[in-house]
Chain A
Amino acid sequence: MKPTNGALATEPARVRADKDADAGLPLTRDDRANLLRYMAMMRFAEERGLTLYRQGKVPGSFYDGRGQEAIPVGSAYALGPRDRMCILHRDLGAHFVRGVTPDRYLANYMGRAGGVTGGKDGNMHFGDRRLGCVGMVSMLPDMALVATGMALAFKHRGEPRVALTYFGEGSTANGQWHEAMNFAGVHRLPVVFILENNRFAYSTPNELEFAVDPVERARTYGFPGVAVDGNDVEAVFERTRDAVERARAGGGPTLIECHTMRMHGHGAHDDMSYVPPEMFEEWKGRDPIERYQARLVDDFGFERAEVDAILDEVRAYVAECAERALASPMPAPETAFEGVFAEEWEPLGDGHAPWSRWQAAAAAKEAA
């Protein structure tokens, strides 16, 4: 059995107490249903994608974020429409929160014209600029610098806006991670870094990745680092909400380390033989979707049937999206030669912001 970082694997390093969950920025019952809805959408869509991959409908390779659904959904849910995101490859739920639909995700995996990139790029290398997102590149954590640069523009113009991006713990070993943390810290930029510690960089375990937990490094860049149970969607939401509001108010960056476990291989080609079975079993018991269903029933007054209805509704929606994706044509070969250069600059569009806070703000604005 390979050594693992037992302490990190079982106990989040420093989960902040729930006390500063601002009563003024709560989650409503609808929000909670949404959190489940988006996590389930990610789970079902990825399952569908993996099936399509195994059916030979997906060229190349297949990557998913099974077991990590609470992180993209909880964090993206805290953002307002004018905030910006660089979403990574384990974070499909964040795309859904921002407004990408599963058919466009599946079509992108299949290289179809209806995919988010129209076939120009594959799998999770996409971002819908009309929804305020810049898609990732394979080099990690390059997007940390791009998000930092977007935050630089917000600060430059004095706008109350925030950029948020993700990276795995593996990326913290790369020099660009340091460059991004340092630059963001020097300029106190409104950027939130979500570190997803899913225990392995491909097959390399935490103890071969760093000597000091990266969350500890945040203070050396001059901003807080907080750790959170990455399989608790509301905890992720709250930590992110705090960090976002802090950034929006001019307080600078935050590094949030979400402890989780990647429950599938790095890609569909990876059998995870390097994961100790008992470790896998332990994390299986902490499935974020199972846990949240229980919590909705136990703590928030949902009926079991209500929860099941949400899951059935999402499952049916994903199935319908898969049909649409399969009906999308392959791109015309000549489109391969288009778009190397831009004719003009256009601003990104705003993303969906389903959190009741933003919905209420939008409704108030509409009423006014």
Chain B
Amino acid sequence: MSSSGTSAALAAGGRVEVTMPQMGISVSEGTIVEWRKQPGDEVVADEVLCEVSTDKIDVEIPCPASGVLESVLVGEGETVAVGTPIALVLTGESNGEGAGTAGARERAAAGPGAGGSSAAPGPKGTGDRRPTTDDPGELDRSRFYSPVVQRMAAEHGIDLESIAGTGVGGRVRKKDVEAAIAARSAAPAHKTLHTESPYRPEPEAQAPAPSARPALAGERREVMTPMRKAIAEHMVRSRRTAAHVTTVVEVDFSAVRRRRAELRADLERRGVKLTYLAFVARAAVAALQEFPVLNASVDGEELVYHDSVNLGIAVALDDGLVVPVIPRAERLSLEGMAAAIAEVAEKARTGRLVPDDVQGGTFTITNPGQFGAIIATPIINQPQVAILDLEAVVKRPVVVDDAIAIRPMAYLPLSFDHRALDGATAARFLSRIKAILESGDVS
């Protein structure tokens, strides 16, 4: 695993700060899924310290230094911005005590607090007779985030650590988050990069989040995994962003089937499994050379054409979907394409993708046909302009030379962004793929 995203800074006195790594250029935050080490545990450099989930990928974070895990600063399930300290590792014996407590003191002092002498609730009023332990004036609350604060921060991508709380005990309250949002919207907006997911927090004034509803009898509720959430966000955003049109051709796979039969045994000896998908990918890459507008992105009012085809292959996982990218796919032969597809699929399924494996796609192929589907209208993987879909190859009666023949047929739907191209171009592109596949001239 690449450790490029993990930054470690030597703190004074042999203390190393572990920060949330940058996992891919567009990733701005990560969620701690699990701590594999607990404070007090001995750690060895490069040993896995924790697991982090981002909207792109889940990764294990290796420890940057050997020593003892002094403290964990971000709890499981918490999301923090890239660069935020998440743990401290003590590397020497001579130092250690001071810094941690100083940090705690700092946090305690962060908010103005409300004084410790808030009147004890009387026999009536908002408390009960006993002196309550939750007297808001007495505790450091700078790390307590109320439901509304957490929700707003999530919606607006606000790093709560960066906000000074003005509530009791230094608590970050709703008005503090509102102020942070207001301050940020006054700053210039981020420019969308075309080479990656342009995920940005949604602007406000969308439909309000549905209120938390208790599960009814006969149903079960669970919080979406980070991957599920990321998929959900990407899909909805793509639907809103692109002018989706789906157009379909039907392809006779007889020639491909023959070609595959010729090559199959040979390739299998070399450990490569030759699939229909490899043929389609190869044909698509060839067609993309002739129709560069399909290997492009929309950036504002500009179309960005890409020299290389970075081919995304949608891979279904048990709990979601990832789209690893085969970079510069135009340089691959059929055999190379088959091997590359097998490799990224295997990496995806075994969780070994690194952030850069899912970056920078320029065109995507999805293959639900492997599960028996015969037609679909896929959603474009933003910021690309098209996605090709290989459906199941099934035998159908078709008319060949005015006679009915039984042929292995498949639909190839293409969803494209009508902002970037028109139906005629899409149809011509698809027809080109069809022609290549039906000629069987793929190598």
In the complex, A touching B (Cβ < 8 A): no
Binding site for B on A (CB under 8 A): none
B interface residues, Cβ below 8 angstroms from A:
none
